[in-house]
Amino acid sequence: MITSMATKNHDPLALPLTHLKGVGTQLAAKLERLSLYTVSDLLFHLPRCYQDRTRTYAIAELVPGMFATIEAEVVKQQLVLGKRRRLEIELADRSGYLYMSLFHFSTPLRQHLPTGTRLRCFGEVSFFANRLQMVHPEYEKMTAPTPETVVQTLTPVYPSTEGISQKTWHNLMAQALKLVNDSLLMDYLPATASSGYTLVDALNYCHHPPQNADLALLEAGSHPAQQRLSLEELLAHHLSLRLAKQQIKTLVAPVLQCDPAILEKFYQHLPFTPTQAQLRVLQEIFADFKLGIPMLRLLQGDVGSGKTLVAAGSMLAAISQGYQTALMVPTELLATQHGLTLARYFSVLSINIVVLHSRMPAKQKQAVYQQIKTGDAQVVIGTHALIQEAVEFQQLGLVIIDEQHRFGVKQRLQLQAKSAQAVGYAHQLIMTATPIPRTLAMTFYADLDYSVLDELPPHRKPITTVALANSRRNDIIAKVREFIASKQQAYWICTLIDESELLTSQAAIATYDLLQTQLPEFKIGLVHGQLKTIEKQAIMDAFKSGELHLLVATTVIEVGVDVPNASLMIIENAERLGLAQLHQLRGRVGRGTQASHCILMYRAPLSWHAKARLDILRKTCDGFKIAEHDLKLRGSGEFLGTRQSGELNFKVLQLTRDHGLMARVTELAEQLLKDHPEFIAPLIARWLKEKVQYSAV
Ligand code: ADP
Ligand code: MG
C-alpha cells in the first residue's frame, strides 16, 4: 500500500504528536507540559510502574497493599452513615469476603448492583476494621460466568499531568507503538550492546511487558530492555559532545606563547616552588596554545591544590602575545581575593590587573570598562559582571572560569563570545574544585580536554573531621577557646537555613552575638551576603592579617577563600548540606602547615543519608573519593552542576540509577565512530531535540 510505504520511508519517531488520533491542540498543550512533542518523546516516556491485571486472584490470596483483579458476587449492600456516608458492598468468592467501599454513589447505582450480581474489580487492597476492602475499585459487571481475563500483558501506569488519564496514555502509546512496529526503524546500537533487544523490541517490552516479566526489575528500571534504552540515550549525549569538540577544533584561535624569560622570572619570584603537577598542567596548556585552534580544557584540582597558580601561568602566555585574559569567578569576595593573589604572583612583572563586579560604584565601573576596551587592562577579574554588554575587550585571547560548577555553560559562552572574530576565538580554561568522577567526566565532558592537579602542595596535613550533635555546643565552644589561645584562627559557618539569604544572614548575626558573649576574650568578625562589598572585604582582610581570631560566616566563603592560618572550622547544620559543598567549605582549612580540624555540627536524629554523608567526610579528605561516594549515594547532580540539571534533559536515563552504564559508553562511541559513522547524526537526532553544542556556538 502506498500510504504505509510512505510511513516506512520517514522516521515515525520524528512525527509530531498531533499526528496521532485524538491529539488536538488541547491535549497537545498538556503533553507539552511534560516536554512531549514528538512520537519519540512519547515512546521514551516510560511507565512509572506496572499493574498486574493479567490474572484474577482469589480473595484469600490478597494481601493489603497489592493491586489485584478479583471476580466475586455481591452478597449484601449496606449504607453506612456517619461522618462520611459510604456504600459498603460485600463481595464474596469461594475463598472469602471483601468489602467494596464507595464514598461517591447514586441511588440508581445501588439498584444497579443487587445481590447476586457478578463483578470483576480491580483496585488496591487495604485492610480496614479488621477486614479486606477495596475503595473505589474499577469494576465491571460480568454477564456470563466466564473467568477469562482480557489483558495479556502487565498494565503500565504513566507519569502524568492534570487532565491526561491513564486511558489516554494507553491509547496514545498504542498508536505510537503501532507506528514504529509498522516501520523499519533502524537500530543504531551495536548488537553487542543491546542485550538482545532492538529499539523497537525494547519499547514494546517497556510499554507492554509480558505477564511473566520481572516486575521488581522493571519498576527499579534495571530490566535489560530499559537499560538498553538508557544506554542508547547516554551514547547519544556522549556522541553529541564529541561532535561539538570536533567542531571547535575547526575554528581558529590566536597562537599564544610565553616568553621564556618572563616565565622564568615569574617562577623565581613566587612565594613557593610550583608542584610537579602544576608544572605539568601548565605544559599541557602551553602545548594547546601553540596549535592555533581554541583550547577548551577542564582543569580539575581538589580544593587547595593550587589552581590559581596554573591560571596565572596561562595568563602570561596571553600577555606575552599582547592578548587580554578574562577570569570569571562566582563571588565578589573571590574576585577581590584573586586580584590580590595575582598582584602578588606577578609582583615583579608589572602587569595591569583590574577587578570588576556589579556592585561597584558607577564611576569606578566606567573607568574599568575603559581600561578593558583600550587593552590597558591585561588581566580582567570579575563576577558575572564580565558578561554585561557594556564590557568590551580590545583583544581577548584567554577566558578562565574559576569554580565552573557555579556557572552555566551559557555564561561561559557569553564571555567567550567577547573575543573578536578577527583575532580568532579565545582559548578557554575551565577550573573546578568539585572533583568529577572519572567515568562521569569522560561521558559528560567529552567536549573538553582534561587536566588534573593530582598533587597537593607539600606539608599539607589532613584535616581531622568529627561530627557532633548540637547538644555538644558547650564542648565545641571550649574547643574553640583552647584553639584560639594557641594562636590559630577559626571559622564558624552558619549554613543556609532555607532558600533565603536574608534569613541565613540573620541567623549568622544571632550566632555572632551569642559567640561574642560566650567568647568575650577574642576578636570575632562576621561576614554574610547582606554586607556591602567593602565591608566584607575589610573583615576578610582583618581575618587574613590575623587581627580577628574567629570569623562567623555564611557560605559566602564557600569557594576560593584562602587564609592559611585558619585551621579550625565549625559547620552548623552540616546534615543539610551536600557532600560536595561540605568538602568545598572544609577546604578553607588545611591550607597551612599546621594540623587542621573540622567539626560538623548536626541536629539529631540523622537520616540514613545524612549519616552516610557525614561518615564519608570523617573518613576522607580526598575530593575524588568523596565524589565517587556521592555519585553512589545520590547521582551526579552536584558534579555536573547545571550541565545535568538544566542543560541535559534526559528522557529515560536516570544517573543515580544508571551510572553503571557510563563505563561502556566511551568504548561504544569509538566502535560506532569507526564502524558506522553514518549512524551518528541520526542517533543524536533521535534522542536530542536540538543538537547540543555545549562547547561551540
Ligand atoms: P585552589 O584554587 O586549587 O583551591 P589555591 O590556588 O587557592 O588553591 O591555592 C591554595 C593555597 O596553596 C594557597 O595558599 C597558595 O598560596 C598555596 N599554594 C599553591 N601552590 C603551592 C605550591 N606549589 N606550594 C606551596 N603552596 C602552594
Ligand atoms: Mg581556587
Over residues 168-181, the pLDDT tens digits come to: 999 999 999 999 99
User: Which residue shows C-alpha cell 577557646?
Assistant: 481
Q: Which pLDDT score, from 0 to 100, does residue 52 have? A: 84
Atom 11 of ligand 1: nearest residue by CA position: 304
Q: How far is 404 from 433, CA to CA, in rounded Å?
A: 8
Q: Which pLDDT score, from 0 to 100, does residue 413 have? A: 79
The bound ligand whose nearest atom lies closest to the alpha carbon of 453 is 1
Q: Which pLDDT score, from 0 to 100, does residue 654 have? A: 82
How many angstroms does the Cα of residue 633 sit away from the middle of ligand 1? 30
How many angstroms does the Cα of residue 303 sit away from the middle of ligand 2? 7
What is the Cα 347 distance to its own chain's centre? 40
- Give residue-wise pLDDT tens across range 564-613: 899 999 999 999 888 888 888 898 898 888 889 999 999 989 888 889 89
How many angstroms does the Cα of residue 551 sit away from the middle of ligand 2? 20
Q: How far is 435 from 300, CA to CA, in rounded Å?
A: 6
The bound ligand whose nearest atom lies closest to the alpha carbon of 304 is 1
Q: Which pLDDT score, from 0 to 100, does residue 697 have? A: 35
Class for the domain spanning 55-150: mainly beta
Q: And the C-alpha cell for 443?
A: 561521558
pTM of the model: 0.76
Give per-residue burial for 545-564: e unless 16+ CB within 10 Å, then b: eeebbbbbbbbbbbbbbbbe
Q: Which pLDDT score, from 0 to 100, does residue 401 have? A: 93
Q: Is 679 exposed, middle or buried (0-12, 13-18, 19+ CB in 10 A)?
A: middle
Identify the architecture of domain 463-620 in CATH. Answer: 3-Layer(aba) Sandwich (3.40)
How many angstroms does the Cα of residue 559 sit away from the middle of ligand 1? 13
Atom 23 of ligand 1: nearest residue by CA position: 274
Testing ligand 1's pocket by substitution, the residue of 298, 302, 308, 557 carrying the most ligand atoms inside 8 A of its CB is 308
Q: Which atom of ligand 1 is nearest to the CA of 587?
A: 4
Q: How far is 251 from 483, CA to CA, in rounded Å?
A: 56
Contact 551, 541 (CB under 8 A): no
Ligand 1 proximal residues by C-beta, below 6 Å: 272-275, 278, 301, 303-309, 433, 457, 562, 564, 591
Testing ligand 1's pocket by substitution, the residue of 273, 303, 305 carrying the most ligand atoms inside 8 A of its CB is 305
Atom 18 of ligand 1: nearest residue by CA position: 306
Q: Which pLDDT score, from 0 to 100, does residue 498 have? A: 59
Q: Which pLDDT score, from 0 to 100, does residue 97 have? A: 95
Q: Which pLDDT score, from 0 to 100, does residue 148 have? A: 56
Binned average pLDDT, 10 residues per bin, the chain of 697 residues: 43 90 94 91 93 89 90 92 89 94 85 89 90 91 65 87 90 95 88 89 94 89 94 92 87 93 94 95 97 93 91 97 95 89 94 93 94 96 92 94 80 82 86 79 84 88 92 94 92 77 80 94 91 86 93 79 89 88 88 90 89 92 84 59 54 83 90 93 83 42
How many angstroms does the Cα of residue 123 sit away from the middle of ligand 2? 57
How many angstroms does the Cα of residue 584 sit away from the middle of ligand 1? 14
User: Which residue shows C-alpha cell 590559581?
Assistant: 308
List of residues 6+ apart from 299 with CB closer than 8 A: 281, 307, 310, 429, 430, 431, 432, 451, 452, 453
Backbone angles phi, psi at 349, to 5 degrees: -105, 0
Q: Which pLDDT score, from 0 to 100, does residue 648 have? A: 62
Q: Which atom of ligand 1 is nearest to the CA of 341?
A: 16
Fold equal for 260-453 and 463-620: yes
How many angstroms does the Cα of residue 279 sit away from the middle of ligand 1? 13
Q: Which pLDDT score, from 0 to 100, does residue 458 have? A: 86
Backbone angles phi, psi at 665, to 5 degrees: -70, -45
Q: Which pLDDT score, from 0 to 100, does residue 473 have? A: 93
- Give residue-wise pLDDT tens across range 56-92: 899 999 999 888 999 999 999 998 888 888 899 999 9
Q: Which pLDDT score, from 0 to 100, does residue 635 have? A: 54
Q: Any idea where the domains of the chain sit in the sequence?
A: 12-48+158-216, 55-150, 260-453, 463-620
Q: Which CATH superfamily is domain 260-453 in?
A: P-loop containing nucleotide triphosphate hydrolases (3.40.50.300)
Tell me the H-state helices in 10-158: 25-33, 39-43, 107-112
Q: Which pLDDT score, from 0 to 100, does residue 619 have? A: 93
Q: In what order do the strands lie in the sheet with 463-469?
A: 463-469, 596-602, 566-571, 489-493, 550-553, 524-527
Atom 25 of ligand 1: nearest residue by CA position: 457
HEC profile of 383-447 = CHHHHCCCCCCCCEEEEEECCHHHCCHHHHHHHHCCCCHHHCCCEEEEEECCCCCHHHHHHHCCC
Atom 24 of ligand 1: nearest residue by CA position: 457
How many angstroms does the Cα of residue 305 sit away from the middle of ligand 2? 8
Testing ligand 1's pocket by substitution, the residue of 279, 298, 309, 561 carrying the most ligand atoms inside 8 A of its CB is 309
